Amino acid sequence: MKLDFRKIFAIVRKDFGHYFVSPIGYVVLAVFFFVVGFFFYLITVSPYPVASMNPVFQNAVILLLFLTPMITMKLWSEEEKSQTAELLRTSPITVWEIVLGKYLAVCIFAVAMISSTLLYLLIIVYSGNPDPGPLFTSYLGFALCGMSFFAIGLFASTVSENQIVSAVIAYGILLMLWVIGMAGQSVQGPIGQVFQYLSIFTHMDDFLRGIIDLGHLTYFGSLIAMGLFFSVKVLEGKRN
């Protein structure tokens, strides 16, 4: 499969710009900044403050779970609504180029969102002596978690031309990946172990403890690949 990166980056520029021509991008950035800031404030004023971003990221991942459908629901549904989907389907751009362009656009938007936490990181570094290892792995785990969420959200957006329906599908899948870990804690035996493995939050925990495990990297990579693959298959079905 040969990809034309000029076409991909053209889609990236278009879709990334869409986040800032409507209020949704600014609202998401503001909500993420202030809610994560609130969690950061709680750990700094606690009786036993810690020089770590772990408590912040533990809550930020759950916040991202709820923000992801808002961020991704327009990725393809908006094309259907504005009747530009047919132009993309009949253009010389391949489906993989479309999917990768849209996925990279939302990932770049997420970078802008996550960069707001650098302010809190600077405060921790200035006021304490944090271990750089867990700080790095926490950011890495959070980034992988977000990339997995976005791949799922992109897939949900391709399923329906209705943005609300796309958001509900994304919420459903992401919530399942959250609660299945809780179910795994109450179920004994191999089934419980499978439930625990499928939980995205189980794989996030080791990153917060400063551990980079090949199994966790494989899990997140597989989740991202599956999200993009199924997005391509849905769009290929619509093109045909």
What is residue 87's predicted lDDT score, i.e. its pLDDT? 63
**Separation between Cα atoms, residue 230 and residue 141, nearest integer Å:** 23
Residue 47: the pLDDT is 59
**What is the pTM assigned to this prediction?**
0.88
Q: Which letter does DSSP use for residue 117 in this model?
A: G
How far are the Cα atoms of 120, 130, 206 from residue 126, in angstroms, in the given order? Answer: 10, 9, 26
153 contacts 74 by C-beta, under 8 angstroms = no
Residues counted in the chain = 240
Q: How far apart are CA 152 and CA 106, in angstroms?
A: 12
Q: Do the beta carbons of residue 77 and residue 153 sit within 8 Å?
A: no
The conformation of residue 73, written as its DSSP 8-state character, comes to: T
Helix (H, G, I), strand (E, B) or coil at 238: helix
63: nearest Cα among 29, 22, 24? 29
Q: Give the sign of the dihedral formed by CA 153, CA 159, CA 165, CA 171.
A: negative
Q: How far apart are CA 66 and CA 113, in angstroms?
A: 14
Count of domains in the chain?
Answer: 1
Residue 69 near residue 170 (C-beta atoms within 8 A)? yes
- Strand, coil or helix: 93: coil
Give residue 132's pLDDT.
79
**Burial of 59 (C-beta count, 10 Å sphere; 0-12/13-18/19+):** middle
CA atoms of 29 and 37, how far apart (whole Å): 12
pLDDT tens across the length of the chain (240 residues): 677 788 889 889 988 888 888 888 888 889 998 888 888 887 766 655 666 677 788 888 889 999 999 899 888 777 766 666 666 666 778 888 889 999 999 999 998 888 888 888 888 777 777 777 888 888 899 999 999 999 999 999 988 888 888 899 999 999 998 888 777 677 777 787 888 888 888 888 888 888 888 988 999 999 999 999 999 998 888 766
Domain span holding position 62: 5-239
**CB contact at 8 A, 113 and 107:** no
Tokens 């992988």 -> residue: 144
Residue type present at position 189: G
Kindly state the greatest CA–CA separation across the chain.
Answer: 61
Residue type at 132 in one-letter notation: P
